[in-house]
Structures are given as structure tokens and as C-alpha cells.
Amino acid sequence: MQSKDARFDGWFFTAVLTTGIYCRPSCPANTPKRDNMRFFASAAAAQQAGFRACKRCRPDASPGSPQWNERADLVARAMRFIADGVADREGVTGLAARLGYSVRQVERQLQAELGAGPLALARAQRAQTARLLIETTDLPMGDIAFAAGFSTIRTFNDTVLEVFALPPTELRNRATGTEHPGVSALGTLCLRLPFRLPMFPDNLFGHLAATAVPGVEEWRDGCYRRSLRLAHGPAVVSLRPAPEHVACALALTDLRDLSMAISRCRRLLDLDADPVAVADLLQGDEALAPLVAKAPGRRIPRTADGAEFAIRAVLGQQVSTAAARTHGGRLAERLGEQIADSGGGLTRLFPDPAVIAAADLDAVLAMPRARKHAVSALAGAIAGGEVDLAAGADWQLARTRLALVPGLGPWTIEVIALRGLGDPDAFPATDLGVRSGAKTLGLPDSAAALLRRAEPWRPWRGYAVQYLWATSQHAINHLPAA
């Protein structure tokens, strides 16, 4: 905190007894005396202890802790589910059922590590969503209250006042500089998604653009755009890289999906990563060190929907990137729900797994019969609950269940783990791009030998994959022309 190191924003929060305020570690205010400080592992714990958010550093808007995307234990899985809105939509009972533990055990584990239970953590997220809507829209406060997930307007008013030390109307006045903001219907919300520096956007946005499914995703005017299937309706998101944030424009059907949409965009772009920790480890390898020094901050291009990516991974087996896009586009055109996109050329949602499982794929896809059977079997397993690829899914259990689906081999499973589940240590050693990159760097290119060589890269083997892929001139490594 004394060094104002922004790398640790989101890792912990500091509270000052004399002012009753909590801050992020990089807050520019003068550092208080140590005896007057308290430290918390979550904003929810600071709020629960009676501290309010600093108006200067806005700790509620800091990047999330990278631990929740690195770890696979109960607490990390719970935090991923809470970020995805499960606690708000299904309650603590639904959250516990998804995790496979009792409500008491979930509450005990979260309280022990974070100093706050699932309800307090969800409340902190609702407060952050409310602040975003208050400051970036001119919607009526009643609409904002229910959109942010509050059950009553009184609860909304009390929470905003308690967390931010300002009533909702004054919070809006500070942001707009006007006493009487207008009222308008829901349009496009423009937000900034923070991340930890450094960040190298070329492979991240280049990969998403190069593999974009026609009608579902596109690169337009320097932005990656895609449709999203959310809890209360479809949405369209536009993401543009900037030096210190990602500009995000969201067109939602229902405002209640805002926090879920933000969580999925952050997950898609791996924005909660800790690039310094990754670089510190990978630079210790003489083969990878020059690549890391040349382009620090590579992220893993992940997904907004694990089920969608898994099906796309099967479609992409043993074919080129262009062929995989064609197969995905045909599937979306024939089976995906139509959407309206006034800002571009998006026309469809990627089909729901249940729809794919029930469809006659012979009439949709021009590919070997065995692969069509694999697509159908995987979609059926996801729709039936045998395979869970949600944000807080158990990574190892998902691998075990995927291995039982006919037609899914080690390459497909590890690619799904890497980009669909978000396991930062996933390593598709049989991938042609990985093996080619290894050969270019003078590393062993056989799968077994490469796995042994990659052991020192744990737990960041997924980021090493990005550097191995970067040795080629493939389109995934370059931002498209404007």
C-alpha cells in the first residue's frame, strides 16, 4: 500500500478507522498510520464491517482478484458463480447446489477466507451494479434498483447510502454535474473494464476476430463484437482495447443482466489475470524469456459461454480456422435465435445445446458423420447436466466427464479446459500450433516430451501456450486492419 502498487488492486482492501473509509491499495491519498488501518480480503467484508467506499479511488471498480480465475477450490468456484449472478438468481441454496456442498459449508468457507458470506458478497456486487447504472444512465432510480437486483427501493437507497456515503440522487449529480438528469429508455451502456498492466491486446483480440463465427461475432471499426445469451434475454457487446482499459458498449434486453454481462466480458478477455506473476515465472525459461520480454501481458482468449466454446471446439477438430468458422456459421444460421443489431451485422445467438442435441445435424453440417455424432453427443451431455461447463464448474470433474463423450480426445478436452473453463494451467500438448512453436524454439515437439519440458511452467502453462502460438504468422496473433 505504501508503494501505491496498482498490481494489488482487488487482491485486498484497506480501511481507515479514523475516517470510516476503505480503499484500494493504490489509492493516491496519504497513507494513514498503521495503527489506524484494517485490511480486508474483499470489499464485502469492508462494507460489512461498516466502512464506506472511497470516493477518490473507487475501490468497488478495481479489477477482481486473480485468485478466482487461478484456483479451482470451493471458494474460487463460489466467487466465479457469484460474479456470474448465480447467488442473485438462485439464492444461496442454488449456489450451494451448483457447488455440490451444503449451504453451511459454503458460508463457512467464504466467511473464513473472505470475511463475508455469499449474501454479503452478492450485495457488494449489487451495489457496484447500481453505481454503474446511476452514473452512466438517466434511468429512474426505481428501475435501477430492481435492475441491480434489490428486492425493494428502500433496500436500494439504504445500501447505496451505506456503501458510498451518498444517496442515489447525489451520486448521480456528482457524475453528471446537473441537478435534474433526464429520463430515457434503455439504450447502449458504455463502460470501462479495468485490468492490470501490462496487457498485449494483439493475440487476444486477434484470436477472437480470426475465429469469429459469422452472424454471432464480428470485427467492426476496431471493435470485437458478439451476441450474448443472458439470463433475461439476448445482448450485444462491443469491446475495444485501450491503453489502460477495455471500452465496453452493452446493448441489453433487460438491465438485470448487467452484472452477468460484465462478468462474462471480463472472463472472455481474461481481464482479472496477474500478468506480472505470469511473466516472473515464464521468463525463468531461456526458451520463453525473449518472447515474454517482447510482448509482456499476453492474455488467454477465453469465452463468454463454456458450452458454446465446447461445441465449437468439436466443430474445429482436424480442420482449418476458416472451416471451423464456416461450420459454426452454418450451425448458427440454421439453429440460432435471431437477434436485432442496430450497430452492426450480428444476426444470431449461438444455438442452445438442447436445440443442437435435438436437431438433425445431417441437414445442417457438411462434415464426417463421426464428428456430427460427437457434436450431438456433447450437446446432449451439456443439456442433460452430465457435463457442467459453467463459470464455476469443477475443472477436473469437467475433464473426466468430457472424456466420456464419444469423439472427444485429449486435444479437444484440453482446449475446452483452456478457453472454455478458464483453467490457466491447461496445456494441449498435441495441438499443432503448440508443437510447431515448440520446434521453432528448439523444444521437444512430441507431446509426451513437451509435457515433461513444460512442468516448470506450472501453474501458467496456458499462458505459455499463447507464446508458443505467437511464433507463427497465423492471423490469431494480429489485430485485424481497421
Active site residues: 23, 431
Which 3 state secondary structure label does DSSP give 241? strand
Residue corresponding to grid cell 469465452: 303
| Spatial separation of the C-alpha atoms in residues 465 and 470, rounded to whole Å | 8
Q: Return the C-alpha cell found at 464.
A: 505459455
- Asked if 284 contacts 456 with a C-beta cutoff of 8 angstroms, the reply is yes
What is each CA distance from 125 to 42, 64, 150, 231, 436, in whole angstroms?
A: 11, 11, 11, 17, 43
Residue corresponding to grid cell 495441438: 431
Beta-ladder partners of 250: 189, 237
Strand locations in 297-399, DSSP E? none
Q: What angle do CA 48, 49, 54 make, to 5 degrees?
A: 90
Other CB atoms within 10 Å distance of the CB of residue 303 = 22
| Spatial separation of the C-alpha atoms in residues 91 and 354, rounded to whole Å | 25
| Spatial separation of the C-alpha atoms in residues 92 and 113, rounded to whole Å | 17
What is each CA distance from 328 to 78, 107, 279, 480, in whole angstroms?
A: 31, 41, 34, 20
Rounded to 5 degrees, φ, ψ at 232 are: -115, 10
What is each CA distance from 22 to 39, 54, 272, 391, in whole angstroms?
A: 9, 6, 21, 29
| Spatial separation of the C-alpha atoms in residues 3 and 61, rounded to whole Å | 20
- Asked if 246 contacts 272 with a C-beta cutoff of 8 angstroms, the reply is no
Identify the helix (H) or strand (E) that includes residue 274.
none
- Give how far the C-alpha of residue 350 lies from the chain's centroid of Cα atoms, to the nearest Å: 18
Instruction: Select from 308, 264, 306 the least CA-distant residue to 64.
Output: 264
- Asked if 159 contacts 126 with a C-beta cutoff of 8 angstroms, the reply is yes
Which 3 state secondary structure label does DSSP give 180? coil
Q: Return the C-alpha cell found at 364.
A: 445442417
Helices (H), 137-272: 141-147, 153-164, 168-176, 201-210, 258-269
- Give how far the C-alpha of residue 358 lies from the chain's centroid of Cα atoms, to the nearest Å: 29
